[in-house]
Structure 1
Amino acid sequence: MSVFMDLNLSFTAERSRLKTLIETAAHLGFSTVAINYVFEPATKKKQEIPTPTPIKELIDELPVVQGRYRPIRVLNRLTVVMSDSSHFRPNAAEYRCFDLLSVQPTTEKLFHAACMIYDVDIICISVTEKLPFFFKRAPVNGAIDRGVVFEVSYSAAIRDSTRRRYTIANAISLMESCKGKNVILSSAAEKPLELRGPYDITNLGLLFGLSDRDAKEAVSSTCRSVVLHAETRKSASGIVYTMKTCSESSSQQEAPPADSGEAPAAKRAKLHLTD
């Protein structure tokens, strides 16, 4: 059974609405969601990076995921909307408060830098307007090699017919360059009615030009890779997961006692010499 994730639920100051968003996501079968704080620096007026609100202050008890019988996992995410290179500060201490870090470049130069240089987890593709640049194969492949993913959100297509055209056009343009690799589909929902189930999103991915397999991975395994990439980025050295396999455990049970004094290989060599 796949683990589905929606890594973009828009933050709102109304706690009741945010609580309803999380509960709806759990009811639809999402095991992990991310509360997205959008930071758009002004060109003249200095603004401070938002501080994520602890989840315990937003909701008293996390809802149980439907079909999973475990509480939903809630992450914090920061999205920096970049219209200038100075808007992204790689060493900012405020970034460390967030589990996921993403950027939304608005120019071709910034998109190239986000793909090749910036240490982020997600590159957001604007869906509310026509992009002023084309996706080139070189920077897109560079981002894929670095483990950075591209995000296409669908809630804007629900709100307005014009944005629906931009969403489909920009998504198809991206898929032609990345061939469906390292793409996640998220909601960017502000209201519970803008959320869709994982299989509905998979069908939407087909409209964007994804294959059946890539569309399903865009809401499951690729999202999991994003979370692991974020943990690796914060640890600076990497993360190793270990698990005991059935063959390994059975071989340990069949191994001779430790007090035998000889390893199995040594015994075989001794028998061979004797023969």
Structure 2
Amino acid sequence: MQRIITPCRRIVVKIGTSSLIHANGKVNLQTIDRLAYVLAALTNQGQEVVLVTSGAIGVGLDRMKLTTRPQAIAQQQALAAIGQSELMRLYAQRFADYDAQAAQLLLTHDVFEFPGSRQHVLDTIDALLAAKVIPVINENDSVATDELDHRTTFGDNDQLSALVATRIDADLLIVLSDIDGLYSADPRKDPSAHLIPVLTQLSDQVLAGASGTGSRFGTGGMVTKLKAAATMMAAGKQMVLCSGADPRVLLKVVAGAPIGTWFGPERAKEG
């Protein structure tokens, strides 16, 4: 089956911590710069672009010169607070270099649980996009914790990006990861593993083959990406999973190039 990238007016891009932080724990400034460049370019082409970014804790670890993520929730939240401000400073700086304007939105699950707050957030995003401002969204890790009495966490930014994409009626979600697509098996362990270029239905076999996170800095893995894909597919939307090593690949993806894995609108199951 051939992928068909339909014309995209509104695009959500999600980038993971593993793409923003080097293996040695330092911030990948080149990736941030290239990401700002390509999102500015897409905006100039007339697309409406939303960025969902991870990386707050990873950047916080770098700022505090720590090599190990702490176990205590309060310490992780403190690092998220430190890292988030630095991450937004870097984004704002790089976007300004390309004459683009960014705005920060920090969300918890409660925002989408309650109709009033949900509508306010959606209206804010619409207003920003109408003004050609790029919303930069992250989970509010400084307050989102399972220890609270109400539901606050999304669990990961893969699911957050899919939720945002479906709520704002985006045409396409592009997930930039530390792997260049969905494989038949873990390519780091199985040399016979091959890239799956197109999927329009997530079978139990595909879901069973997903593995966990490959980075000590991030919280997601292939399972969370497939959950995001399932959300998009069920909503009749498309998602592309590809490598975030060079965010300039986004321009090729939007143009319809056969890059990564394309998840198309869900087909009805036979029988």
Shorter-normalised TM range: 0.3 to 0.5
TM-score, normalization by structure 2: 0.37
The structure where helix makes up a greater share of residues is: 1
The structure with more radius of gyration: 1
